[in-house]
Structure 1
Amino acid sequence: MTAYGKSAGINFKFGGTVSNTLDAHRVIQHFQEEKGPEVADKIINSLYSQYFENEKNPSSTETLLQATADAGIPESEAKPVIEDKNDGLRDVKMLIREQATNGVDSVPYVTLEGKRRDFTLVGAKEVEEYEKVLHQVVKESK
């Protein structure tokens, strides 16, 4: 993974804290609903960088404040959401349960819609595996 990361410009480090990411998901969901998917993507990208490159705890208040700041959200707006551990918790848990009933138990979970059938890739995959499925979708679409 380190070698692949370097080729993609990511300097992976593996000494960070592994923790429950429910608070991170809750904050992402809140701001996705309030400000849209572009802002949520910025939060996610910041969290990935902080965790995978800087070994930060993905659910700490400090990390979440940095991620929301990186997404352009003022601290005065982000901090109450981050500190209120119940804000959006029920909704996020419901979304998790919903995906679990769909068989989703790891990420990434990618579904490619084909003409005759859909293809699902679960968990970390090599680029070649995605290419193989995409070629199959094209082949079956002819």
Structure 2
Amino acid sequence: MEIKYWSDIACPFCYIGSTRMKRALKEMNIYDETPLEFKSFQLDPTLPKTTKESMLDHFSKGHGMTKQQAKAQIEQISQMGASDGLKVDLLNAIPTNTEDAHRLIKLADSKNDDALTERVIDAFYQVYFSNGESIADHDVLTKAATEAGLDTEEVSSVLSDDKYLKEVRADEMEAQQLGIHAAPFFVINNKYGISGAQPYEVMLDALKKIETGAVK
């Protein structure tokens, strides 16, 4: 089985959905043998790399809600993450551009070490959802990426240039060509699609049916 999924570091449903997918693969004892390829998908590529806007203001404007409604939904999302053992402090997250984080994930990919790539992705999720730090801040990114196992000089080289931007854009173009307009979106064996942070049981059932050939 091969799985590729479009995801953004700033997307709580991507964080939750990928966690559920990995849990399902581990339940089936096929996690270690199943390639799980992260594909770049920016929820809002127009966001600036520096901002003073709070998540509450950003969320309420973006979803056409009052601040009270936005806060209630943000808290609901955070509780959803907690039910999967994740700290999703969305209220204190900083709404900034995620392009540089995606480029560093591509750097990790270039090492052909799945465990390294997973550590980098997880580190960036921690930055955004747990630490309340800017995922666009180069110092923050460098610290998280190097602690996850990337070389400091290589990280600095990527961040000082536009390296891996083509690869990020290629992922986004592929998503458009496939008609993918939201994340997370999982494509299994280049044939079956699962959209959104589906309940764990739904993901597990879908994977079992695909593995046994019950789904045509």
Using structure 1 for the length normalisation, give the TM-score: 0.78
Alignment correspondent of 2:182: 106
SS in 2 for 1:120: strand
Written as runs of structure 1 = structure 2, the 5 A alignment for 1:71-110 is 71-84=148-161, 86-110=162-186
DSSP-derived class of the 1:140 partner: coil
Cα separation, 1, equivalents of 2:213 and 2:154 = 49
Q: Which amino acid is the alignment partner of residue 104 of structure 1?
A: I
Residue 135 of structure 1 and its aligned partner are, at CA, apart by 5.2
Measure how far apart 1:38 and its partner are.
Answer: 2.3
Q: Residue 108 of structure 2 contacts residue 150 of structure 2 at CA under 8 Å; is this kept in 1? A: no
- Secondary structure of 1:97's partner? helix
Q: Which residue of 2 aligns with 1:125?
A: 198
* Structure 1: segments with no counterpart, 5+ residues: none
Q: Is this contact kept in 1: 2:94–2:134, CA < 8 A?
A: yes
Q: Say if 1:124 and 1:46 are closer, same or farther in 2 by CA, change over 3 A.
A: same
Alpha-carbon shift at residue 139 of structure 1 (Å): 7.4
Higher RCO structure, 1 or 2 (CA under 8 Å, sep 6+): 2
Answer yes or no: is 1:28 the counterpart of 2:105.
Answer: yes
Unaligned runs of 5+ in 2: 1-76
1:87 CA drift (Å): 1.3
Q: Residue 93 of structure 2 aligns with which residue? A: 16
Percent identity between the two aligned chains: 23
User: Is contact 2:127-2:133 (8 Å) kept?
Assistant: yes
Q: Which has the higher helix share?
A: 1
Distance (Å, rounded) in 1 between the aligned partners of 2:188 and 2:151:
37
- What is the CA-CA distance between 1:59 and the residue it aligns to? 2.4
1:13/1:52 contact within 8 Å kept: yes
Single out whichever of 41-50 and 13-22 deviates more from structure 2: 13-22
1:34-55 deviation per Cα after TM superposition (whole angstroms, max 9, x unaligned): 4533222111010011111112
Q: Give the C-alpha shift of residue 62 in structure 1.
A: 2.2
Q: Is contact 1:64–1:82 with CA below 8 Å preserved after alignment? A: no
Does 2:133 align with 1:60?
no
What CA distance in whole angstroms lies between the structure 2 residues aligned with 1:98 and 1:7? 32
